[in-house]
Each structure stands twice: as structure tokens, then as C-alpha cells.
Amino acid sequence: MEEDVRLFLNHLAKEKKCSKNTLDAYHSDLIQLADFIESLLDHSISNFNQNELSEAHLSSYMLNLKEKGYALSTIARKVAAARTFIKYMSERGKVNKELAPKLSAPRVNKGLPRALTVAEIQRLMAETTRLPTDDAKRDRAMLELLYASGMLASELMSLNIEDIGMEASHVRITNQRGKSRVISIERRVTEILLDYANTAMMKFLASDREKALFLNQRGERLTRQGFWQIVQSYADSAGIVAKVTPRTIRHSYAVHRLNSGADLNSVQEVLGHAHISTTKAYKQV
């Protein structure tokens, strides 16, 4: 089955343009599914056939997930991965095409996105100005740009120097599926970015071939995980009790923009939402 999983993941990467994080999650969930099915069959599965996988096996798998005490959201994710994989296998004639619809994920009530208040955002940004270090200059540039654009952490970390229009005050954002959007940013934020690019960034830069905008102390592109830690560190310093992530700042951008009178369509365009219904959730916050 590992070969089938590998082919499936290649399909997701090439055809669906899924991110590495998504692919890693699929891989982990499908290996768990394979191990469980093999324990029921009492033999290893080299290749599925029409008779080896049944509705009873899938029902047992779902029951096993519940017995292990997984959260409903985790079970829903694992079931969705199994259903997508089985559909892929059925399209290739390796399993019964009636099996995929039999997998029903539990309903998960999604909470409203949590946003910081304007005062909390101001405190967060103020923390980045307390120290005159190169790290602090970089961190201020990242946080100010994140709040000015509402982009995702992965989009922020993937920015290259050429993506920032210093003269025209705009930024070109490319999502994980390769689709780009260009948005305007305040001149004040552009000047913060320019200050970082002309000072701290030059000290971090280890190679002229490096294209990344935001660098770590080794002169390499800063990772998303590293950025998450930076955000939470400043939130702690600012005395913000709740957990704060880059997505919290994205939510804050959207809520504050709508509260300031921006229309849903313009916020949807900036955030890069495919459906207006996703943006409408911010109206309830």
C-alpha cells in the first residue's frame, strides 16, 4: 500500500498543488489507515484489490479513531484523507467505487475566528520597537506587513525581495497553489520595510543569490515555524494572555477593516478567499 500512497501524494502535489504540510498530514493519516487495515487482514497489503477492503473495515477504522479519544476535528481530517484516497484508488479500479461515500466524517462546529482588539495590536507592534537590534527591525517589518496585508504566514515567509514594490507601495503575494495577487500597503509600512532592507537585512545576508525577503541569522529564509515563535514571543511580552498566531493577526486585519467600513468584496480580494462566505464569517466577530 505504501506505493499506492506515494502515487496518491504525487498526484496531490502535482495536480492539486497541495502544500508540504498538507502532504505530510495525508501521509501520516494514510499510513495509520493502512496499518489498521493490515491488522484486521492479518497480512501486509502490497496492492489493494477489490475484495480486500470492505465497508466493515472502514467502519471499524472510524470506531477505532473514536475509541482512541481523538478530537472530532482530528477524526474529520483523518476520515477526509481516507475518503479522498479511496476515491483516487477507485478511479483506478483498485477498490470498490461504492466505498468512499460510506466514510462519513463527524460534523465539526467551527468557532468564529478570534481577532485581537486594536489596542492589543498596538501593544504588539510597540513591542517590536523596544530594542534597536537587527532582529527587532526584521520582526517589526514582518508584523507590520502581516497586519497591513492580512496574508498567511506561509505567504509572508515565501516573499522575495522583488515582491515588494517600494516605490508604488504594493506587495505581490503568491499562495501555495501558485496564484498571485497584488495589494497596496500603507506608505508607512513601506518605509519600515525599506529601513529593514537597507540595514538589518544587509547584515543577515550571507549570499548574493539569496532572494528571500525575511532572513534568519544564518542568512537563510526564515521558516514558518520560526515566525510563529516570534509572534507568540512578542504577544507574551505585550501581556496578551491568549495564544496569538500569525493567523490571529490575519483575522484581526479582516475584522478591523470591516469595522472601518471596508466592503466584503475588497477584504475577500486582499485575503485571497475563493468564496465570499469565508469572508462573511468576520462580520460575526
- As a whole number of angstroms, the distance between CA 188 and CA 57 comes to 59
CATH no. for 2-102: 1.10.150.130
Domain with CATH 1.10.150.130 in the chain: 2-102
In this prediction, residues 112-131 reach a mean pLDDT of 92
| Mean of all residue pLDDT scores within the chain | 87
**Model confidence band, residue 145 (pLDDT cutoffs 50, 70, 90):** very high
Measured CA to CA, the distance from residue 196 to residue 138 in angstroms comes to 6
Q: Delimit the CATH 1.10.443.10 region(s) of the chain.
A: 118-284
107: its cell numbers:
460534523
Contact 238, 123 (CB under 8 A): yes
Show the cell assigned to 199.
540595514
Helix locations, 216-263, DSSP H: 224-237, 246-259
pLDDT surpasses 90 at 194: yes
pLDDT at 100: 67
pLDDT at 192: 96
* CATH superfamily label, 118-284: Intergrase catalytic core (1.10.443.10)
Share of residues in the chain with pLDDT > 70 (%): 91
Other beta carbons within 10 Å of 10: 11
